[in-house]
């Protein structure tokens, strides 16, 4: 027997949640994963399809023989079709057991953080009339040090 839970909260958190627990050989560990909706949708486009249009969430839960299947709209709830249920079960197993998308959960490296910072503050936007001037701050810093060093050398000679 397995416990499977899948939830897309597009309206409030913009996240995809998965839970999996295997009871076939006793009480196995609860395995959970939570992905940002946009990020996981880049790797699994079906996620975006599940919440197209007026759909604000998907909720699926399998507890033994009890199954809850909900496509959640702003003002109503409908059942999830069987093809989507099959896909959801496979997705949860890929996420929790095969750990297929765990690299998405890792924090960015220092290099990635620096690159993102530079892109955020220094990339030119074509729509701007007066883009920011890109500068080589290290080159300027060392040039200033050389200038100061030359001034000190001249003043000590005098």
The pLDDT, as a whole number, for residue 148 is: 81
Four-residue CA torsion sign, 107, 109, 113, 116: negative
Q: Tell me the two tokens of residue 139.
A: 């080159």
Cβ(9)–Cβ(55) under 8 Å? Answer: no
Domain boundaries, the chain: 2-105, 119-157
Write out pLDDT tens, residues 113-152: 788 778 777 665 544 555 555 567 778 888 888 888 777 7
* Residue 139 phi, psi dihedral angles, 5° rounding: -60, -45
Q: How far apart are CA 1 and CA 150, in angstroms?
A: 79
Percent of the chain past pLDDT 90, that is, above it, reads 55
At 45-61, the pLDDT tens digits run 999 999 999 999 999 99
């Amino acid at each position: 027997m397995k416990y499977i839970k899948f939830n897309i909260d597009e309206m409030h958190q913009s996240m995809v949640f998965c839970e999996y627990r295997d009871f076939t050989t006793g009480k196995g560990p609860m395995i959970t994963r939570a992905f940002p909706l946009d990020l996981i949708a880049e790797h699994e486009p079906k996620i975006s399809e599940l919440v197209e249009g007026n759909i604000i969430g998907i909720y699926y839960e399998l507890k033994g023989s009890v199954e809850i299947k909900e496509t959640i709209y702003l003002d109503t709830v409908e059942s999830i079709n069987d093809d989507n249920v099959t896909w959801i079960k496979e997705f949860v197993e890929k996420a929790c057991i095969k750990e297929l998308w765990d690299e998405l959960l890792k924090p960015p490296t220092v290099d990635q953080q620096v690159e993102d910072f530079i892109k955020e503050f220094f990339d030119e936007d074509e729509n701007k009339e007066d883009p920011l001037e890109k500068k080589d701050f290290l080159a300027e810093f060392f040039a200033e040090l050389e200038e100061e060093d030359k001034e000190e050398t001249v003043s000590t000679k005098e």
